[in-house]
Amino acid sequence: MREMSGFTLSVLDQSSVAAGRTPGEAIRETLALARHCDALGFRRYWCAEHHNSASHAGTAPEVLMAAIAATTERIRVGSAGVMLPHYSSLKVAEQFRVLEAIAPGRIDLGVGRAPGSDGRTAFALNPNANEAADRFPAQVMEVLGWHGDGLPENHPFRSIVAQPAVETRPEMWILGSSDYGAQVAGYFGLPYCFAHFFSDGGGSEQAIAVYRESFQPKPDMPGRLAAPNPALGVYCLVADTEAEAKRLFRSRELWRLKRDRGLYLPLPSVEEAEAHPYNDLELARLERMRAAAMVGTPEQVKAKLEALSAEHGGVAEFAVITHCHDAAARRRSYTLLAEVFGLRAGGVPMAAE
């Protein structure tokens, strides 16, 4: 188990749409926030993939990544993730080779199996959606093959070379919110990130344990690991005072209540959330949500992340997502988090030196 001072902090951005602002503005806010977090010293900046949703504008992480990679200097740029069953393995491999040409040695390829959308949209993206998800492990193998591992002798596309030919390869991650992705990551000897923010942590401890138990070391293979490397995607909101953090969190509270009812809408303003007529069931749900939330002052959130790490056997990397209607307050949240952990280049605290 690594010391708490050895945390690695990264960013996960869904390009969330704020009520009163356009999806185009959400994309431009992502680009600005990436530059901000590059300067702060975060390790990675990951872009999510969602489709047919009024909540999130990030439908094409590889396009956003290209813009971020070209306008940042140090931060690793990645996908969280590319939903492989929608796409051709070769096309994904080629896209990320192009990204490596733009920012050599700074690209992460996070992949997932979930649709990132509703069932009808999944079929619009891939008419073979019913069978596609079952090929996820095979697709992971193919992408790794086209990034340098090579394909099996009997593979029908073994002779095809993914272009452009570049000297570096993306760092591949498996992303998920269930035991399935954990097992795939363990089998291939790849790093794994669990979407803790998606379910408020439900199943996260078991998934991380399954990942560690199923991990097969592959220290001699490029891009693989000698030991498990688990991470958690977590929601955090930090402000100068606890009261201000809780006030800003009201936007996400109302958004989550609506999401739990299948309504994927723009993130409401604090004022809208405060004026909402909550019923008793909703108020009870809010109390549970608030009790588990990583929300507060920098010191409070740091302590909560340390406790979360301990609960998961010493997870040492967090990909932090911050839904916040106020773009300036969102930037401030990442600034305060970087300061309380004393980030330096590479996304780990100076105390870890």
Q: Which two tokens stand for residue 307?
A: 């406790």
- Burial of 110 by CB count in 10 Å (0-12 exposed, 13-18 middle, 19+ buried)? buried
Prediction pTM value: 0.94
DSSP 3-state of 221 = coil
Can you give the pLDDT at residue 115? 78
Which tokens in the block code for residue 303? 């302590």
Lowest mean per-residue pLDDT among 98-107, 146-155, 197-206, 341-350? 341-350
Query: If you ran DSSP here, which 8-state letter would residue 153 be given?
Result: T
The CA distance from 342 to 332, in Å, is 15
Q: Which residues pair with 234 in a beta bridge?
A: 320
In the chain, the number of structural domains is 1
**Residue type (1 letter), 250:** R
- Among 149, 142, 166, 49, smallest CA distance to 93 is for 142
The range of the structural domain enclosing residue 47 comes to: 4-352
Q: What is the tens place of the pLDDT at every residue in 120-129?
A: 999 999 999 9
75-89 pLDDT, tens digit each: 999 999 899 999 999
pLDDT digit string (tens) for 216-265? 999 999 989 999 999 999 999 999 999 999 999 999 999 999 999 999 99
pLDDT, mean over the chain: 94
Nearest-angstrom CA–CA distance, 322 and 253: 13
The CATH code of the domain that includes 50 is 3.20.20.30
